[in-house]
Structure 1
Amino acid sequence: MAVFVALGAFLMTLAGGWVAQRVTDRRHLVLGFAGGLMLGVVGLDLLPEAIDAAGRPVAGVPAALLLFVGGFLLAHLVERLLAVRQAAHGAGEERVPQVGLTAAAAMVGHSLMDGIALGAAFQVGAGMGAAVALAVITHDFADGFNTYTLTSLYGNNRRKAFFMLFADAIAPIVGAATTLVFTLPEELLGAYLGFFSGALLYLAAAEILPEAHHDHPARSTVLCTIGGVGFIWLVVGIAD
């Protein structure tokens, strides 16, 4: 059942990527909406789940929040190292394609974990599985949208962007299929979600949103960002 439901996530991911690549003439609005989606996914979906699942606090701080900070710092470090490397080869301030591919690969990993969570939920019961299925399928539209946007934003060609989009779409099916063999411990899943949230927030705050306002500091871009957050809030509310 979980693998069948994951096919819906596959289609929604592709739909999100298709929308992202079709509205290139309104790139600033696309980036503004993508930034809002990423902010909403982190603050309203991933991080609350991570805090609940990651286990005991470490020195008085929830383990998920420590990993959240670690993910943020690692994303910053990786981007700076790649940027310095490219500058040393005379690339100046150009975008670093590897950053986009790394970010998209993280999205693929997240979608894989979505599939695992979906399979684990159906192992608990049909009701739990249905609730998780609704959340996964609806927010995979945002995953597809962000995967294509992140890959192309950093200068990767459309072929690579579509490849990463397809990998992101197939990942929930693969993840759901793995639960036929084993079950992921809840604390490990929570730790991953915390770490991934930090990396995703860095990309939204330091890259996506500044780029959205660089050439078009318009009110409509801000409204798209708010709309992205609102969309994730709606998805989370429906899932609950």
Structure 2
Amino acid sequence: MAVVLSVVAFLMTLLGGVVALRVRDRRHLVLGLAGGLILGVVAFDLVPGSLELSDAAPLGVPAPMIGFAAGFLLLHVVEQAAAVHRAHEDEYAPHEHAHGGASGRAGVLAAGALVGHSFVDGLSIGLGFQAGTGVGVLVALAVVVHDFADGFNTVTAASLGRSGRRVPLALLLADALAPVAGALVTLLVTVPKAVLGPYLGFFAGILLYLAAAEILPEAHARHPRVLTLCCTGAGMLAVFFVVGLAG
């Protein structure tokens, strides 16, 4: 099941990349909805589920919440080190778009970071199913939702400073295949439940960072915000009702 759902993530990543190549003025609504779905999965399922799986509490702090903070902070540090935000620097200041220039290198670096992060997504799907079918399905839902944004952002970043599509399409394919590879790895590895709780908390922190620092700011850039906010709220409500009905 984990591998099957990772294939769905593969298709969703490709879809996000295709949309990035074609859509112009409606992408903020799609990204707003994706951000809301991710926030809902984090708040209504991953964090509560991780707390149920682990009783460990170093210094009185639940281990999954330590993982949550570590995941959020780690992605922030990695993003800053890899200069991922340079992919969007044209929103703030003029810069060169010469082929192979600084913006092109930064864009490829950003796209490469997204490929690595998609591999971790595949691992997360497999480990979620090791924690339980319900957890696995909802983790897969979160991955599938934000892999659309990953595909979108991979193409956008890799296209900086480039007029051709060969490099963006190659990186999009790598990004789409990465979660399938990660899910396959989990078929060979079994993780104890004591580790799954902190890990799910860690993954929730990563997802929260992606939604708060990447997807939602991109959704609100240069567009009227009311409809985007409505899409974000609709995404959160959808997950709330899905989790509530499943429970």
Q: TM-score, normalised by structure 1?
A: 0.74
Q: Does residue 108 of the first structure (1) align with residue 119 of the second (2)?
A: yes
Alignment partner, residue 23 of structure 1: 19
Offset at residue 186 of structure 1 (A) = 0.9
Offset at residue 98 of structure 1 (A) = 3.2
Q: Does residue 178 of the first structure (1) align with residue 188 of the second (2)?
A: yes
Alignment partner, residue 215 of structure 1: 222
Alignment partner, residue 83 of structure 1: 83
> Using the alignment, how far apart are the partners of 2:198 and 2:111 within structure 1?
23
In the alignment, structure 1 segments of 5+ residues that lack a partner are: 122-127
Offset at residue 9 of structure 1 (A) = 0.8
Alignment partner, residue 207 of structure 2: 200
> Using the alignment, how far apart are the partners of 1:38 and 1:116 within structure 2?
18
Deviates more, 1:17-26 or 1:29-38: 17-26
Q: Residue by residue, what CA displacement relative to the aligned partner does 1:178-203 show, whole Å, maximum 9, x if unpaired?
A: 25xxx311121222222222222122
> Using the alignment, how far apart are the partners of 2:47 and 2:28 within structure 1?
27
Alignment partner, residue 159 of structure 1: 170
Letter of the 1:53 counterpart? L
In the alignment, structure 2 segments of 5+ residues that lack a partner are: 90-100, 160-167
Alignment partner, residue 125 of structure 1: none
Alignment partner, residue 148 of structure 1: 151
Alignment partner, residue 169 of structure 1: 180
- Would you say the 8 A contact 2:125–2:136 is kept in 1? no
Q: TM-score, normalised by structure 2?
A: 0.72
Q: Do the aligned partners of residues 169 and 42 (structure 1) sit closer, same or farther apart at CA in structure 2, a change above 3 Å counting?
A: same
Q: Does residue 227 of the first structure (1) align with residue 230 of the second (2)?
A: no
- Would you say the 8 A contact 2:124–2:183 is kept in 1? yes
Q: Do the aligned partners of residues 81 and 140 (structure 1) sit closer, same or farther apart at CA in structure 2, a change above 3 Å counting?
A: closer
Q: How many residues align?
A: 221
Letter of the 1:217 counterpart? P
- Would you say the 8 A contact 2:65–2:201 is kept in 1? yes
Q: Residue by residue, what CA displacement relative to the aligned partner does 1:156-181 show, whole Å, maximum 9, x if unpaired?
A: 62321222112213433442x225xx
Letter of the 2:8 counterpart? M
What root-mean-square deviation, in Å, do the aligned CA atoms of Structure 1 and Structure 2 show?
Answer: 3.2
- Would you say the 8 A contact 2:67–2:202 is kept in 1? yes
- Would you say the 8 A contact 1:28–1:216 is kept in 2? yes
